[in-house]
Structure 1
């Protein structure tokens, strides 16, 4: 039952937002009593902590699977972006913004975990791209990995990028292209252009 509650809660939080969903909503949605939820989770904050950990774990597994396919590093980043977008439900309800505003401690922990997860993956991606001659050989890997993470986090700030002006899917595409154009070699640019063109068909 605990797993079912966690999965349903994560789904509701992502679709409606962390602040918007109440324990009553969750109980009604599942057809169970609030008491049953409190048997497994002491309060809403504990449920949100478990939910964000669960979500990050699912995303980490998916990213590991994509990395294990050993595609070329540019294609790999596009696959990861597609996978993460699918998991985050397009973020219509701005769950990250709600989490940051109403549950800052949980948000801080999640952001640190997110960075750890992303740093290894992005560093490995950059290293392989340099070895394959599709990323420039003079890159400062740590700087590029951190600036990439910083950008991915910042574009979710709705004060900077209001959704009515910057739909999240378009924003993610544009940011990824912006990132890659700064680090590719002429050989990498051909691969990047081919991916962008095929995505537009």
Structure 2
């Protein structure tokens, strides 16, 4: 329970204050978990960062699996559901760390190569899932059959990351949904 609490608090503090600017003392203070208990679970802040990345991966994967399994809705409706979930998270974080993965990848120490690779694998897996959704849209007649799902999925993620960044800088989560709705129109 304490381990989970530290990870959840760190997940928000790293986005709000930055990994480098969040001290272990700040984690202890905000989480209300004793310093000895924090160090029982984590030997250093880098280990917490690894757990935070895993936390965000699990959160996104869970939300994406929910979308993939709701076959009764169109692909666009499912994507909008997923992005509505993301938008709510961005708003709850007061637009800090629009995309947690990019924010954390930029902030993590240069020697954290495996962590950056883990984030890269997350995007590879996300692209595969989006490609699957695009393929479903083609098969269901929602999208043109001339598009290439893998290429469209890569473009979609790039587009989404840009929308997340702009939403963060303009403090307007509606940009995320509007951008994706425009993107979906291009696929029809």
Partner of 1:43: 44
Partner of 1:181: 185
- Cα distance per residue 1:78-122 (max 9 Å; x no partner): 001012233444562235565243315476235313313312321
Residue 136 and residue 90 in structure 1: after superposition, are their counterparts in 2 closer, same or farther (change >3 A)? farther
Runs (5+) with no aligned partner, structure 1? 185-201
Residue in structure 1 matching 2:171, options 154, 167, 171: 167
Shift of 1:163: 4.3
Partner of 1:145: 153
Residue 74 and residue 155 in structure 1: after superposition, are their counterparts in 2 closer, same or farther (change >3 A)? closer
Q: Give me the whole-angstrom Cα distance separating, in 1, the residues matched to 2:4 and 2:105.
A: 25
Partner of 1:80: 82
Q: Answer whether contact 2:53 2:119 (CA < 8 A) is retained.
A: no
Runs (5+) with no aligned partner, structure 2? none
Q: Answer whether contact 1:126 1:141 (CA < 8 A) is retained.
A: yes
Partner of 1:136: 144
Shift of 1:16: 4.0
- In the comparison of the two structures, how many residue pairs are matched? 180
Q: Give me the whole-angstrom Cα distance separating, in 2, the residues matched to 1:97 and 1:115.
A: 10
Shift of 1:136: 0.7
Partner of 2:123: 115
- The CA RMSD over aligned residues, in Å, is 2.5
Residue 97 and residue 76 in structure 1: after superposition, are their counterparts in 2 closer, same or farther (change >3 A)? closer
SS in 1 for 2:10: helix
Q: Give me the whole-angstrom Cα distance separating, in 2, the residues matched to 1:81 and 1:132.
A: 21
Higher mean alpha-carbon deviation, 131-140 vs 28-37, is at 28-37
TM-score by length of 1: 0.76
**Higher radius of gyration, 1 or 2:** 1
Higher mean alpha-carbon deviation, 26-35 vs 141-150, is at 26-35
SS in 2 for 1:182: helix
Q: Give me the whole-angstrom Cα distance separating, in 1, the residues matched to 2:62 and 2:118.
A: 16
Q: Give me the whole-angstrom Cα distance separating, in 1, the residues matched to 2:43 and 2:81.
A: 37
Partner of 2:30: 29
Residue 93 and residue 18 in structure 1: after superposition, are their counterparts in 2 closer, same or farther (change >3 A)? farther
SS in 1 for 2:19: coil
